[in-house]
Every structure is written in C-alpha cells, then in structure tokens.
C-alpha cells in the first residue's frame, strides 16, 4: 500500500493544477487532472479508455454527434454543476 501511495504522490507532483492530461497506459480511465479549488486539491481520474466521444463542436457536425453530446450533458448536468472537484466537470470540459 505504501508503494502505491508513493506512486500517487509522484503523479500529483508531476501534474499542473487544473490541467487535464491523457493517461494512455491506465487500464480504465483515459484522463487525469489535479483539481484545485479553495484550499483543497484532489486527484481525479475520468473518462472511459477507448470511448468514442463527440469531442468539441465542429462546423458540419453530424446530427448523431450533436445528439450524443446533448445526451451526455443532460445525463450528467447535476454532477457537472458540482464544479472542479467532480469527474463529470472534467469529462465535460476535456471530452465533450
């Protein structure tokens, strides 16, 4: 357990606050961010590895992708509103 804690601390030290970063070698989560708000900080892993997200809106975007984006935002709106300390906030910002 101590080895795992040290690895987590090293990861925290290598991250810039509130800057999401991809984690291609993580088995389940696609991104990580060191969320800081007020005096608190929290390491948050978010996003499904290999999931096809809609990405940022683009001119000429298909109707299917528009609906996919709208569904995500509607489904997670309550958690997105919680702010920087929630995984849904970062998934919305980085992936949708």
| pLDDT tens over the chain, length 96 residues | 455 555 778 888 889 999 999 999 999 999 999 999 999 999 999 999 988 888 888 888 899 999 999 999 999 999 999 999 999 999 999 998
**pLDDT at position 5:** 59
**pLDDT at position 49:** 93
Long-range contacts of 53-57, Cβ-Cβ distance < 8 Å, separation of 24 or more: 53/95, 53/96, 54/96, 55/95, 55/96
Phi and psi at residue 90, to the nearest 5°: -75, -35
Could you tell me the pTM of the whole model?
A: 0.85
**pLDDT at position 16:** 93
**pLDDT at position 4:** 57
**pLDDT at position 51:** 87
Q: Name residues whose C-beta falls within 8 Å of residue 15's C-beta, 6 or more positions apart in sequence.
A: 21, 32, 33, 34, 43
């Amino acid at each position: 357990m101590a080895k795992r804690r040290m690895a987590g601390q090293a990861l925290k030290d290598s991250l810039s606050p509130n800057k999401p970063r991809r984690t291609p070698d993580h088995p389940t989560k696609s991104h990580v961010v060191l969320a800081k708000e007020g005096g608190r900080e929290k390491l948050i892993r978010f996003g499904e590895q290999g999931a096809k997200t809609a990405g940022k809106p683009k001119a000429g975007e298909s109707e299917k992708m528009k609906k996919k984006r709208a569904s995500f935002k509607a489904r997670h709106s309550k958690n997105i509103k919680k702010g920087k300390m929630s995984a849904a906030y970062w998934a919305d910002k980085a992936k949708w």
